[in-house]
């Protein structure tokens, strides 16, 4: 593996696919084709849909709704690949239909809406908010700010302020616990989801949030890296979907095992290492996860206890899982790193009703392994 400081410091991004021998032209073709299929393809393949003259939404094809998770993912994909019109359509739709102006959750975004914009929930999901904020800051730096709601930088900073100060007036709850600086699963609970932890985003929020909030985000980055050490099993590398603040699995609602949410941890650890290289534990963790799956075939992926015990239940999103395992190769070393990337490269996009989540993780992995998941800084 190339030995250099993180991309934040150098401006250099690894193209792992090219390092492993894949043709640079084929890599770029795969990236362009993947965007085309997901955002411009046939109705049975795409997950993005234009709506009216200036709106658009990402459809969770398994649940037939639009989620703050998917909307924010689409915005991140669009800003990384330079598709401003798609970005703006997604953001306008989000602000029009998901943004809550009144009530306990005012200032947040409803996590689920029907494609016509009607709300299915008045509750927010913090993974959407953190991706919205990061994508908006990147958009501000890449394209500059426009008139509201396209004043991206202000929108991002206002959202970040809400996420950590909400409830100080006695109404509602913050998305991060103010004492331990850990992101919550939802604002009105006191436990976390390891896959929500994005210390590489928080490092950037510490630079670009409102000045009075920057110290909090720096501490949040440190807290999240420590938390992931506690939440990931020391042998298998697996983490639960929900976990208490000490990192132990929270199985009160059946989410204390390694399943769909958990897959993102490997990807997040890989990208944090690529961008900042703050903690060599990331490399050890990536190696553990890849070693656990080295002798398993995607068609036999399961739900697992974090100690590796397999349940009968098959994985709902096997393409998403093999994708995030491959993204861990940003930090991992050795034969399992190469094998994980080869499995990813040789796997096509998922088709059918469950394709949304798998293919979002697939495109993020393709961006990351090709050196195109980048930090967009102010001019």
* Residue range 304-335, pLDDT digits in tens: 999 999 999 999 999 999 999 999 999 998 89
Please check whether residue 36 lies inside any domain of the structure. yes
pLDDT at 100 over 80: yes
Distance of alpha carbon 61 from alpha carbon 316, whole angstroms: 13
Question: What is the pLDDT at residue 2?
Answer: 45
Nearest residue to 70 via CA among 20, 107, 30, 115:
115
Nearest residue to 218 via CA among 230, 228, 227, 209:
209
Please check whether residue 317 lies inside any domain of the structure. yes
Please check whether residue 86 lies inside any domain of the structure. no
Question: What is the pLDDT at residue 334?
Answer: 81
Percent over 70 (pLDDT), the chain: 99
Please check whether residue 191 lies inside any domain of the structure. no
Contacts of 200-204 with CB under 8 Å at 24 or more apart are 200/268, 200/271, 200/272, 200/275, 200/276, 201/130, 201/133, 201/134, 203/8, 203/275, 203/276, 204/134, 204/137, 204/375
Q: In this structure, what token pair is assigned to residue 17?
A: 């696919």
Hey, is 119 helix, strand or coil?
A: strand
Mean pLDDT of the chain: 97
Between β-strands 112-113 and 66-67, what pairing exists: parallel, antiparallel or unpaired? antiparallel
Q: Give the Å distances, CA to CA, from 89 to 5, 95, 149, 221, 357.
A: 36, 10, 11, 31, 20
For 142-185, write each residue's pLDDT tens digit.
Answer: 999 999 999 999 999 999 999 999 999 999 999 999 999 999 99
Please check whether residue 290 lies inside any domain of the structure. yes
Mean pLDDT, to the nearest integer, of 214-236?
98
1 pLDDT tier (thresholds 50, 70, 90): very low
Q: What is the DSSP letter of 328?
A: G
Distance of alpha carbon 27 from alpha carbon 367, whole angstroms: 10
CATH number at residue 343: 1.50.10.10
Distance of alpha carbon 110 from alpha carbon 266, whole angstroms: 27
Please check whether residue 358 lies inside any domain of the structure. yes
Question: What is the pLDDT at residue 202?
Answer: 99
pLDDT at 4 over 70: no
Give ∠ CA 94-97-100 in degrees, rounded to 5.
95
Instruction: Give the length of the chain.
Output: 379
Report yes or no on whether pTM surpasses 0.85: yes
Helices 152-165 & 126-143 angle (0-180, nearest 10): 150
Concatenated DSSP letters of 152-221: HHHHHHHHHHHHHHTTTTSSS--SB-TTT-PBPSSTTSS-B-GGG--HHHHHHHHHHS-GGGHHHHHHHH
Distance of alpha carbon 263 from alpha carbon 266, whole angstroms: 6
Mean pLDDT, to the nearest integer, of 29-43?
97
With beta carbons less than 8 A apart as the criterion, state whether 93 and 134 touch: no
13 contact partners, CB below 8 Å, separation of at least 6: 7, 274, 371, 372, 373, 374
Distance of alpha carbon 349 from alpha carbon 364, whole angstroms: 12
Q: Give catalytic residue positions.
A: 69, 261
pLDDT at 29 over 80: yes
Question: What is the pLDDT at residue 70?
Answer: 98
Omega before residue 299 within 30° of 0, cis = no
Distance of alpha carbon 147 from alpha carbon 316, whole angstroms: 41
Nearest residue to 169 via CA among 98, 100, 99, 104:
104
Please check whether residue 247 lies inside any domain of the structure. yes
Q: 157-184 as b/e, with b when 16 or more CB fall inside 10 Å?
A: bbbbebbbbbbeeeebbbbbbeeebbbb
Domain assignment of residue 302, given as a range: 1-46+232-374
Q: How many domains does the chain have?
A: 1
Nearest residue to 264 via CA among 326, 219, 222, 311:
326
Phi, psi dihedrals of residue 204, rounded to the nearest 5°: -80, -35
Please check whether residue 333 lies inside any domain of the structure. yes
Concatenated DSSP letters of 12-68: ----HHHHTT--HHHHHHHHHHHHHHHHHS-TTT--EEEETTTEEEE-BTTTTBEEH
Q: In this structure, what token pair is assigned to residue 149?
A: 């709601």
Q: What pairs with residue 51 in β-bridges? A: 55
Question: What is the pLDDT at residue 379?
Answer: 80
Residue of 262 and 379 predicted with greater confidence: 262
pLDDT at 283 over 70: yes
Distance of alpha carbon 99 from alpha carbon 175, whole angstroms: 15
């Amino acid at each position: 593996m190339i030995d250099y400081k993180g991309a934040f410091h150098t401006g250099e991004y690894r193209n792992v696919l090219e390092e492993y021998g894949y043709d640079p032209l084929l890599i770029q073709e795969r990236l362009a084709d993947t965007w085309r299929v997901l955002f411009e393809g046939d109705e049975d393949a795409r997950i993005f849909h234009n709506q009216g003259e200036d709106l658009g939404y990402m459809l969770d094809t398994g649940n037939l709704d639009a989620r703050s998770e998917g909307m924010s993912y689409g915005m991140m994909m669009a800003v990384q690949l330079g598709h401003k019109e798609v970005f703006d359509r997604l953001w306008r739709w989000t602000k029009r239909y998901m943004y809550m102006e009144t009530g306990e959750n005012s200032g947040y975004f409803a996590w689920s809406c029907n494609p016509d914009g009607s709300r299915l929930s008045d509750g927010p999901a913090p993974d959407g908010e953190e991706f919205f904020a990061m994508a908006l800051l990147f958009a501000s730096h890449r394209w500059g700010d426009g008139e509201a709601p396209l004043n991206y930088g202000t929108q991002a900073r206002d959202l970040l302020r809400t996420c950590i100060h909400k409830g100080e007036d006695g109404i509602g709850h913050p998305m991060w616990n103010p004492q331990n600086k850990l992101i919550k699963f939802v604002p009105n609970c006191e436990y976390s989801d390891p896959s929500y932890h994005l210390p590489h985003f928080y490092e950037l929020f510490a630079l670009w949030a409102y000045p009075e909030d920057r110290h909090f985000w720096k501490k949040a980055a440190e807290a999240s890296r420590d938390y992931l050490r506690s939440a990931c099993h020391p042998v298998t590398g697996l983490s639960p979907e929900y976990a208490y603040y000490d990192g132990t699995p929270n199985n009160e609602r059946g989410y204390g095992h390694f399943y769909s949410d958990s897959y993102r941890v490997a990807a997040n650890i890989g990208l944090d290492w690529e961008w900042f290289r703050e903690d060599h534990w990331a490399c050890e963790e990536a190696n553990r996860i890849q070693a656990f799956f080295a002798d398993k075939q995607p068609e036999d992926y399961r739900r697992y206890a974090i100690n590796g015990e397999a349940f009968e239940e098959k994985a709902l999103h096997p393409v998403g899982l093999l994708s995030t395992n491959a993204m861990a190769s940003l930090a991992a070393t050795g034969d399992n790193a190469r094998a994980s990337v080869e499995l990813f490269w040789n796997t096509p996009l998922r088709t059918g009703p469950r394709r949304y989540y798998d293919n979002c993780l697939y495109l993020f992995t393709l961006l990351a392994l090709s050196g195109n998941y980048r930090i967009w800084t102010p001019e």
